[in-house]
A and B are shown apart, each in its own frame.
Chain A
Amino acid sequence: MNVIVCVKQVPGTNEVKMNKETNTIIREGVEAIINPFDTYAIEEGARIKEETSGKATVLSMGIPSVAELLKETISVGMDEAVLLSDRAFAGSDSLATSYALSMGIKKIGDYDLIICGKQAMDGDTAQVGPGLAEKLGIPHTTYVRKIEEIREGYIRCQRMTEDGYEVIEMPLPAVITVVKEINEPRLPSLKGKMKAKKTEVTVWTADDIGADKALCGLSGSPTQVVKTFVPEHNVDSEMIEGTPEEQARNLARKLLSMQFAIQVQEEE
């Protein structure tokens, strides 16, 4: 069974710098890591491949340096790595990204399952997985926490919800996005690292995958980021010390003095 795992590079720090003109993240010069949610997608892809003796390909879109990150995924179970890299892809929103990835997937071809992390740690949109499925015209399930059964042309999985889970069956090929509950990603092995060292990452441009440049990058992105900011928290807080009884009494007094509560009984 052949699996394609889509991953995204995200800044490895909390200090994200923004391009003031385009309001997009500056990725150059910042230590990049693979989006943590995608590491679960990699692990699940590796397991399916090992159990069904197929092939696992990791796919990403990004700047040339992402190739190094993709190489690392070879040491944790991926067989081949493909990077879509072209100036035409710069500034892609989730729609343009879904389009480019779908064109890359068509070129890779012969796949049974596509796995993505549930969302990226930087953008948090969770749209690319489902978007990809729509572009490819295949079914998808998000927030998968367990694959109950997978075989030729069929998958049954558990989709996590706020208060439980749903069991969903789909024909293959299909797209799933996974949550961290699905597995525990392995650490790299020595043989894996040796293999990664020898692996060449395939790099494709927009032309290589036959992409319509009008649908790529900024021009293919209807989403315009007007402003990005960290919401300010101007709430004062005060810790009330003491025994539970004292804390309760002091809290009650404060609420009363601020007229957030009314007294119905005299204090003892």
Chain B
Amino acid sequence: MDYFLTEEQQMIKEIAARIAQEKIKPVALKYDEEGIFPRDIVKILADSDLCGVYIEEEYGGFGGGIFEMALVVEELSKACGGIALAFAGTGLGTYPIILFGTDQQKQKYLPDIAAGTKLAAFGLTEANAGSDAAGIQTTAVLDGDEYVLNGTKQWITNGGEADVYTVIACTDRSKGARGFSAFIVEKGTPGFSFGKKENKMGIRASVTSELVFEDCRIPKENLLYREGMGFIVAMKTLDRTRPGVASQALGIAQGALDEALKYSQEREQFGKTISSFQAVQHMLADMAIQIEAARALVYQTCRYIDGGAKSFSKESAMSKVFASDTAMKVTIDAVQVMGGYGYMKEYPVEKMMRDAKITQIYEGTNQIQRNVIALEMIKELKGK
């Protein structure tokens, strides 16, 4: 399918595809098994000018939007969904600054992120605050010219590897959802350390850590937007970056189909390649149909967002749900097509199946996404 990408988008896709196939694919299995953070790949992405595709030109980026970011994530994820996350997780951590940062904050942080010399991370989740973000325990108290942070963030992508963290903390418990605020915290700030590094089912080349704040003092200027707007910052950021997760899922699914299709033409049983059997053909066809449908939805959602839409929670949630459910189903079928070989670690689909699972869970579980979609529909109907 031709999605009529612009010439620039086509270039971005081509560069990302070459990096994925030539640089990521050969190391994906090793980095997954040993849990190696892909510093070398980040350097290649930086040298290829891809780190800033979604950052404004005046801050050293390419000036693209979520679509440009999604195209990179999709291509990288075809080779490894975990390695792609060093890039995508940085996008998640950077978007709060892009969307709500002052010119001064943008000048300070965006150029290094665009150049790929700094990575970013987003800290929202805590032990008792996942889908219910109102349960956040981390606090930020203004003391003179500084905010003092205390608390622990959990399961933070790029935690420990990133240099810039956007963190949501409670500034006024009495105000409920209006009592949270967003802050920028730099690695190396006294009182800011990293806790347990998680041992995960998939995306093992991505690091997931705790962020620990113990009387961590940050300058007042590091408040993002306004006090009390932390929840808005988080929700608006996630609405915009969900197609990023969707494109990660899309890439994983496409990577799995590519492997299964190739294998089906090599593997012979009963004197024929297994691709000549209708049972296998139908599975491959179903995988392809679902992936193409997911891609059409993800791309269109990206275009809708980048086109200046005001409200897109529903569309963004739909793209994430559909693409991630597709990735799970397609990777399971890819393992099935490849049979015993598919189950073995020497073949990449075993890893892809593990990697796919997280896309149904993080940046809002697919159940929460369905709540969002339904509530938006009900709201729309009432508004008529």
Contacts and interface: CB of A to CB of B under 8 A. Distances in A.
Nearest to A191: B49
A189 B8 contact: no
A197 B7 contact: yes
A230 interface: no
B15 A188 contact: yes
A186 B18 CA distance: 11
A190 B15 contact: yes
A194 B14 CA distance: 13
B337 to A, nearest CB: 29
A187 interface: yes
Interface in B19-51: 19, 22-23, 44, 47-50
Interface in A184-215: 186-194, 197
B50 A190 contact: yes
Contact of A189 (B7, B22, B23, B48): B48
Contacts of A194: 8, 11
A187 B53 CA distance: 17
Contacts of B50: 190
A75 to B, nearest CB: 9
Interface in B265-294: none
A190 B53 contact: yes
Contacts of B19: 187
B49 A190 contact: yes
A192 B62 CA distance: 13
Nearest to A186: B47
Contacts of B49: 189-192
Contacts of A190: 11-12, 15, 48-50, 53, 62
A68 to B, nearest CB: 14
Contact of B18 (A188, A191, A192, A197): A188
Nearest to B49: A190
B307 to A, nearest CB: 22
A132 to B, nearest CB: 31
Interface in B60-76: 62
A190 B7 CA distance: 11
A191 B53 CA distance: 11
Contacts of B62: 190
Contacts of B15: 187-190, 193
Q: Dominant SS at the B interface?
A: helix
A191 B12 CA distance: 10
Nearest to A197: B7
Nearest to A192: B49
Nearest to B19: A187
A57 to B, nearest CB: 22
Nearest to B51: A190
A188 B14 CA distance: 9
B18 to A, nearest CB: 5
Contacts of A188: 14-15, 18, 48
A189 B47 contact: yes
Contacts of B47: 186-187, 189
A221 to B, nearest CB: 37
A193 B18 CA distance: 13
A191 B62 CA distance: 9
A188 B8 CA distance: 13
B241 to A, nearest CB: 21
Q: Which of B19, B48, B50 has the most CB of A within 10 A?
A: B48
Nearest to A196: B11
Q: Which of A186, A187, A191, A197 has the most CB of B within 10 A?
A: A187
Interface string B78-107: 000000000000000000000000000000
Contacts of B53: 190
Contacts of B23: 187
Contacts of B11: 190, 193-194, 197
Interface in A158-200: 186-194, 197
A151 B249 CA distance: 51
B97 to A, nearest CB: 21
B140 to A, nearest CB: 38
A194 B19 CA distance: 18
A186 B22 CA distance: 11
A260 B47 CA distance: 60
Contacts of B7: 197
B64 to A, nearest CB: 10
A118 to B, nearest CB: 22
B48 A187 contact: yes
Interface in B134-149: none
B355 to A, nearest CB: 24
A193 B10 CA distance: 11
A236 B336 CA distance: 40
B8 A187 contact: no
B45 to A, nearest CB: 10
Interface in B229-250: none
A190 B14 CA distance: 10
A190 B45 CA distance: 10
Nearest to B10: A193
Interface string B188-200: 0000000000000
Nearest to B8: A194
B18 A187 contact: yes
Interface in A51-95: none
Contacts of B22: 187
A196 to B, nearest CB: 9
Contacts of B14: 188, 193
A112 B18 CA distance: 33
11 contacts: A187-B19, A188-B15, A188-B18, A189-B48, A189-B49, A190-B11, A190-B12, A190-B53, A193-B11, A193-B14, A197-B7
Given A188-B15, A189-B15, A194-B11, 5 more contacts: A186-B47, A187-B44, A189-B48, A189-B49, A191-B49
Interface of A: 186-194, 197
For the complex of A and B, 3 pairs with smallest distance between CB atoms: A190-B49, A193-B11, A189-B49
